[in-house]
Amino acid sequence: MSQAALEIKQAGPLALIQDAGRFGVGHLGVTQGGAADWIAFYWANWLLGNPLNSPALEIVMGGGLTLEAHGEVRLALTGADLAATLDGQPLAPNASFILRSGQQLVFQQPRHGLRAYLAFPGGLDAPRVLGSHACTAREQLGGLQEDGQPLKAGERLTWQGNTHEARKLPEHLVPSMPTSGCRLPLVLGSQAASFSGSSLFKAFNTPWQVDNRADRMGVRLTGPVLNGSLTGIISEGIPLGAVQVPPDGQPIVLMNDRQTIGGYPRLGALTPSACAALAQCLPGTEVWLTPISASHAQADYRRQHAQWATD
């Protein structure tokens, strides 16, 4: 009997295979990659009882992505509401569902959020490169063809495990998509003192807009101009969520596919949870930067992981 599979009947603008990321290779100039909304990604795998790092599909914008089933499979969908339909019937995120042979799963335009995650039993079959399945287009790593590129029409997806009894996501743990006025906690960095007092006041007391110049490398925020005494620094390593301020004074939040080093002064870095929220913000969304201590950020991160560890 042939293996069950999903065929890509129509490719959307950006559907990538992702896991938690590629770590321990930054010294080679290789970036982290991985699911931009790591919280939604983990919940998708949790719903199927998978190891949380199992490779899944990150679907950006939807854009008509159409998957047709060859065989029966239980999948899980989390993250953004991309107006998904199963044979024309609406399909809500944050739950698992059965896809039967011949049925089509279609993703359209975003209703809430930007990125949806589709998990498969045991995780998707995909080559492991430098310890990860994550797609990074700039480095041409990951993906079905090991070139870091999005899915293409005609390609087939298979998976590593069998369908198990589905879990249900507790109502109080269902992650909500960010709305206008979203607050993004930020841990101040050592270069924050180089910014003028008025700039620091504006940074944390004025709303920012998510610019349309946003991708998996970075998200530009538009708002008040931030001025400081440093126009450049010796290039140094860049963590996830680093908030760089180039000469035009408009911050850029560096995301999963960021470069590994940079020479612009940094206001600090968003917390991992804030990065996940920002990854779901459509252009034009209003966000507020909120200072937070490193100890509070660490406690928040531990609380988030405890939700999966207690099942």
User: Mean of the per-residue pLDDT values for the chain?
Assistant: 93
167 and 187 co-located in one domain: no
264 and 141 co-located in one domain: no
pTM, full prediction: 0.95
Task: State the pLDDT at residue 310.
Answer: 55
Rounded Cα–Cα distance for residues 192 and 138 (Å): 30
Average the pLDDT over 282-309 and give the result. Answer: 94
* End residue of a domain, out of 140, 173, 206: 173
Average the pLDDT over 16-24 and give the result. Answer: 95
150 and 28 co-located in one domain: yes
For 84-131, the DSSP string reads: -EETTEE--SSEEEEE-TT-EEE--S-SEEEEEEEE-TT-B----BTT
115 and 201 co-located in one domain: no
* Tokens read off for 240: 């996830």
> Residue 204's domain spans which residues?
182-309
Percentage of residues of the chain with pLDDT beyond 90: 80
* Tokens read off for 296: 């509070």
* Tokens read off for 228: 């400081």
pLDDT tens column, 178-188: 888 899 999 99
pLDDT at 311 over 60: no
pLDDT tens column, 122-133: 999 999 999 999
pLDDT at 100 over 60: yes
Task: State the pLDDT at residue 1.
Answer: 42
112 and 246 co-located in one domain: no
pLDDT at 165 over 80: no
The CATH number assigned to the domain holding 303 equals: 2.40.100.10
Task: State the pLDDT at residue 172.
Answer: 86
Which is more confident, 211 or 179?
211
Quote the number of domains for the chain.
2
pLDDT band at 3 (very low <50, low <70, confident <90, very high): confident
Rounded Cα–Cα distance for residues 84 and 13 (Å): 15
43 and 131 co-located in one domain: yes
* End residue of a domain, out of 145, 173, 201: 173
Task: State the pLDDT at residue 206.
Answer: 96
128 and 187 co-located in one domain: no
Rounded Cα–Cα distance for residues 88 and 73 (Å): 18
100 and 221 co-located in one domain: no
* End residue of a domain, out of 173, 201, 223: 173
Rounded Cα–Cα distance for residues 151 and 134 (Å): 13
User: Residue 209 corresponds to which amino acid?
Assistant: Q
Task: State the pLDDT at residue 52.
Answer: 95
125 and 209 co-located in one domain: no
